[in-house]
Each structure stands twice: as C-alpha cells, then as structure tokens.
C-alpha cells in the first residue's frame, strides 16, 4: 500500500469513526460536532482522491508499513470495550482530541520522510487541517467545561476573571 492509499484509508476510517461516535452519543451538541468532523474527513478523502493520480501515490515510504491506522485502532478498542452506554461528554471530546493528535503526528512524520516536495506539501496541508480540527475541538471542550471550573455570578462581579 502506498502513502496516498494509506492516507485515503485513514480519512475514510476517520469518517466512519466520527459517524459511529455521532450515532452513539445522546448529546445533540456532540452529535453535531462528530457529524461535522466526519464531513471534514470526507472532504479530505475527496481531495486526496482527486490528487492521487497527479502525485503518483508516494511509493517507497517505509512509514506506511510501520504505521497502524489510528482510527482502526480506536474502533477496535471501542469494540473490545463492550460498554453499551455511549461515552460521557468529556470522554467523547477526549476521544476526538486523541484521534486528531495522532493523525497530526502521522502526517508530520510522513511528510518528513517524503522526497517529493509536492507530496510533502500535501501531507503538511493535511496535518494543518487536522490541527485546525484539534483546535476547534479543544475550544469547544474548554467552552463546555469552563462552567464547572469557574464561578461567574453577578454577585461576584467584583472578582477578576481567571
């Protein structure tokens, strides 16, 4: 399997992973977030598929043989977990954060090992897109969790915000 095919598989598995998380959650907000992430992974898949022919696939990269697909690993862990209940909100956010961090690391490592400048640029672009996803997820998580950690009532308005 060449690098582009592996990246295509990773994006497809990411899409499936986020669709599965969206289906399992009871939270409307999480369902929306996971659906948006699944759509973004599909957009990455479509863009990669269009560029596959012109890039030639990135043959000869040893990272593909060494790497284990992040999303396949996460899906396998969820299947082994056997918990019938959907993940709690913070856990679901952490699952998404972990998946995005691992995807970023993979794309950056693959880019470092590429001799083709065009393929390297594409992989770095994918890493940047995954960083954007990570930033969005972290910001939403912080927004959702901040009421649990900060007291902000009108009667305490003389205190500076932390």
Would you say residue 12 lies in a domain?
A: yes
pLDDT confidence tier of residue 63, bands split at 50, 70 and 90: very low
* Number of independent structural domains in the chain: 1
**Residue 155 Cα distances to 147, 149, 151, 159, 162, angstroms:** 16, 17, 10, 9, 16
The overall pTM is greater than 0.75: no
Would you say residue 58 lies in a domain?
A: yes
| CATH code at position 113 | 1.20.1260.10
- Reported as a single tens digit per residue, the pLDDT across 110-119 is 889 888 888 8
Quickly count: other Cβ atoms within 10 Å of residue 64's Cβ. 19
Mean pLDDT across the chain, nearest whole number? 76
Would you say residue 98 lies in a domain?
A: yes
Residue 104 is predicted with a pLDDT of 92
Would you say residue 156 lies in a domain?
A: no
Would you say residue 123 lies in a domain?
A: yes
Would you say residue 160 lies in a domain?
A: no
**Residue 107 Cα distances to 3, 21, 129, angstroms:** 10, 23, 10
Would you say residue 162 lies in a domain?
A: no
The per-residue DSSP string of 115-153 comes to: --HHHHHHHHHHHHHHHHHHHHHHHHHHHHHHHHH----
Would you say residue 155 lies in a domain?
A: no
SS3 state at 86: coil
Q: Which domain holds residue 84?
A: 3-150
Please state, in angstroms and rounded to a whole number, the distance separating the CA atoms of residues 117 and 67: 21
């Amino acid at each position: 399997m060449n690098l582009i095919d592996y990246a295509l598989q990773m994006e497809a598995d990411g899409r499936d992973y986020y669709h599965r998380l969206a289906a399992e959650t009871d939270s409307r907000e999480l369902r929306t977030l996971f659906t948006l992430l699944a759509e973004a992974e599909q957009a990455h898949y479509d863009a990669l598929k269009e560029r596959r022919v012109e890039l030639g696939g990135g043959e000869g990269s040893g990272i593909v043989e060494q790497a284990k697909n992040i999303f396949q690993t996460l899906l396998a862990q969820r299947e082994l977990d056997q918990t019938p209940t959907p993940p709690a909100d913070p856990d679901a956010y952490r699952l998404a954060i972990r998946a995005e961090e691992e995807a970023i690391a993979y794309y950056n490592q693959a880019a470092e090992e590429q001799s083709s400048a065009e393929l390297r640029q594409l992989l770095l672009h994918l890493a940047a897109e995954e960083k954007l996803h990570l930033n969005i997820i972290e910001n939403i998580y912080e927004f959702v969790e901040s009421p649990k950690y900060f007291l902000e009532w009108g009667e305490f308005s003389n205190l500076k915000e932390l």
